[in-house]
Amino acid sequence: MVITVGLVGNPNVGKTSLFNKLVGARQYVANWPGVTVSRIEGATSYKDHTLHFIDLPGVYTLSATSIDEKITRDFLLLTPPNVTVVVIDSVSPEQGMYLLLEVLELGLNVIAVFNAIDEAKKKGVHFDKNLLQDSLGIPVILTSAHSGEGIIELKDTIVSAFKNNYRAKFLDYGYEIESLVKSLEHCFGEEYNKRFFALKLLEGDELAKSKISYCEFKLDESTEEIGVEIAKCRYEYINSVLSVCMQKSSAPITDIEAIDHVLTHKYLGVPIFLSLLYLAFNFTFKVSEPLVNLLEFLFGKLAETFGNSTLITSLISDGVINGVGSVISFVPSIFALFLALGIMEESGYLPRIAFLMDRLMYSLRLTGRSFMTLLLGFGCNVSSVMAARGLSDERERITTILVSPFISCNARIPVYLMIINVAFSQRKAETFFFIYILSIILTAISSRVVNRVVLKGENVPFIMEIPRYRFPKLSNILTYVWNRGKHFLQKAGTIIFFVSIVVWALTYFPNPDNIENSLIAIIGKNLEFIFKPLGFTWQTVAALFFGGVAKEIIVSSFAQFYGSIEKVVLHPITAATLMTFILGYIPCFATLAAIKSETGSSKYVIFSVIYSFSISYVLALFVNLIGRLVI
């Protein structure tokens, strides 16, 4: 027998940790129909039953305004699970219980779970479980995803709830509101949960307004008052329940609060964060570097054993192994970056950074949340495009996705290094610093442009909970890393494989020994006129063409065209122009594929290509002209 179980709760309540504890590794990530919010599901068998869990996006209310809220509400409304588990934070249960009351009004089969009970006990918070069950009229379980307490009991209760079908009594809002609810209930068709919709209508909910079919209802000032009155009623009820069922002793200030004061300090917070980030990046690259080198070495050896004397062996070694291998080699770096990010997110540090950076991001029409997403782009643009799915607002998400390619990623580093070595060997560090600053400026400008041209709309609200610090758990972080990283393997792997073969064919035919006559040389020479104002030769043009697949390929193309990297010649002005151009000219194929899959529309891919190409071209031309004037 399959029992579907929906997990509902406030954001940051530890719902995902509980989910991981319940289903272990047997989980998979898909998209909710029509939107790109991750739908996380998993199953586990327990006593002849299969428990199929669905981890719903964290919300505070079922009055839906954002995508996350709509998904959770629609899921509960249209495809109610057999059992709904509402996860409540034991340390501060009020807001979670508010959501519980809303879910109960849907008339679902509900179990209330007070999670993080171990933390609550440490803070001197105690619950009377039986009293809670009696007052709420539904099963209550005290659990800890951290220590595993109550997990078995929860599974038992899910099975028994499935058989018994508990339905709680509704909260009584008093004569005035109840009579209004009664008079509004007949406005909705039989297919709807009338009481839920009548209450939502009084709360001014848009969905409820759109579902009215049998009567006229005018919203005025007084209904707004009623909305507040309903919410007050719920909180009064919650407080009365908690005053009986919860004992609380005031906890002293802990070390963690003192640390938090420094970490979110008005002046010190940002510098501390930047140094922590630098350390984290440095650490992850140091850790992943030997693995990256090893992989590159292995792929090189593998290609060598195949040789490239015949058409087939050349296809396998030059095309598939070199092409796909050069991308696969970066997997350790990407996984290591997600590991660092996973630790920051699990510990509760990330929301605090979002809080610190919000003012700055706000002036770019983004929020603090997108800041962390964009930072990931310094590792790989694909990861920042994919991480953008964590942003709840659609406009903010699209903006973040579209400006991500201007963050100077890892793959561009070898290209800059090659150019700097050739043309600016005296001023290496300064040139490097300059190109990164330019990258940040370009990202900031693009965010304004995207918001002015492509997406117009209201500013995104920034109501965010600052969670408690938690000690990150390894199993949770590993799940986090794998869920995010495997996407890179799947999506980037398929497209890189395909393009690598195309690129290989263009260099191989018609004459494998003479590159001047190859198809790519013909393409390069035909496109040369576009780049004449920038002073690029056909080799550069062809390398840029290759580089559209993945930026690293520019280096290997240069090496092939000139025989080896040492023989590359570039005038400083051309070099500066080239670096500026490479910074943004077009997002690599993997990034474009990620943009396509994350936005679900080719429109944004086309915009991204055209916009980034033109802005880089103009900027490069500007650099070229200044350079010629100065020298």
Partner 1 sequence: MRLSEVPVGTVVEVRKLYRSDILPKLRAVGILPGVKIEIIKAAPMGDPRIYKVFDKLISLRNSEAEIVEVDIIQDQPLPATFVKPGKYVVVKIQAGKMSRYLLSRCGIIEGALIEIKEDKKIVTSAGTFDIGFGRLSKVFVSPAKKEQISISNCIQSF
Q: Where on the chain is the footprint of partner 1 (CB under 8 A)?
A: 60-61, 63, 65, 91-92, 94-95, 98-99, 203-205, 224, 227-228, 231-232, 235, 264, 266-267, 269-270, 351, 354-356, 358-359, 362, 368, 458-459, 461-467
Three-state SS at 41: strand
Of the pair 58, 325, the CB lying nearest partner 1 is at 58
CB of 443 to partner 1, least distance (A): 20
- CA dist 167 and 596 (Å) reads 44
Q: Calculate the alpha carbon distances from 364 to 68, 133, 376 in Å.
A: 23, 48, 18
CB neighbours of 240 closer than 8 A, spacing ≥ 6? Answer: none
Of the pair 61, 540, the CB lying nearest partner 1 is at 61
Helix axes 255-263, 269-306, angle to 10 degrees: 80
Burial category of 500 from C-beta neighbours within 10 Å (exposed 0-12, middle 13-18, buried 19 and up): buried
Element containing residue 72 per DSSP (H, E)? helix 67-78
Three-state SS at 468: coil
Measured over the CA atoms of residue 72, residue 76, residue 78 and residue 79, the dihedral's sign is positive
In one-letter notation, the amino acid at residue 117 is I
Q: DSSP secondary structure string, 217-285?
A: ----HHHHHHHHHHHHHHHHHHHHHHHHHEEE-PPPPPHHHHHHHHHT-TTTHHHHHHHHHHHHHHHHH
Of the pair 97, 386, the CB lying nearest partner 1 is at 97
8 Å CB contact between 83 and 13: no
Of the pair 273, 299, the CB lying nearest partner 1 is at 273
Of the pair 375, 420, the CB lying nearest partner 1 is at 375
DSSP 8-class letter at 569? -
8 Å CB contact between 381 and 404: yes
CB of 219 to partner 1, least distance (A): 11
CB of 171 to partner 1, least distance (A): 15
Of the pair 228, 244, the CB lying nearest partner 1 is at 228
CB of 156 to partner 1, least distance (A): 30
Nearest to 487 by CA among 596, 630, 386, 414: 386
Q: How far is CA 610 from the centre of its chain?
A: 25
CB of 353 to partner 1, least distance (A): 10
CB of 110 to partner 1, least distance (A): 17
CB of 278 to partner 1, least distance (A): 19
Of the pair 306, 355, the CB lying nearest partner 1 is at 355
SS (H, E, C) 346-385: HHCCHHHHHHHHHHHHHCCCCCHHHHHHHHHCCCCHHHHH
CB of 367 to partner 1, least distance (A): 9
CB of 503 to partner 1, least distance (A): 47
Of the pair 117, 570, the CB lying nearest partner 1 is at 117
DSSP 8-class letter at 622? H
CB of 153 to partner 1, least distance (A): 25
CB of 423 to partner 1, least distance (A): 39
As given in the structure block, the two tokens for residue 370 are: 């997108």
CB of 224 to partner 1, least distance (A): 6
CB of 462 to partner 1, least distance (A): 5
Of the pair 71, 295, the CB lying nearest partner 1 is at 71
* 163: Cα within 13 Å, side-chain hemisphere: 7
- CA dist 519 and 83 (Å) reads 62
Of the pair 265, 628, the CB lying nearest partner 1 is at 265
Q: Which is it for strands 110-115 and 140-142: parallel, antiparallel or unpaired? A: parallel
Of the pair 137, 204, the CB lying nearest partner 1 is at 204
CB of 94 to partner 1, least distance (A): 4
* 246: Cα within 13 Å, side-chain hemisphere: 24
Q: Hey, which residues does 51 pair with through a beta bridge?
A: 3, 44
- CA dist 79 and 295 (Å) reads 47
Of the pair 1, 251, the CB lying nearest partner 1 is at 251
Burial category of 212 from C-beta neighbours within 10 Å (exposed 0-12, middle 13-18, buried 19 and up): middle
Of the pair 319, 348, the CB lying nearest partner 1 is at 348
Q: Which is it for strands 246-248 and 38-46: parallel, antiparallel or unpaired? A: unpaired
Of the pair 365, 484, the CB lying nearest partner 1 is at 365
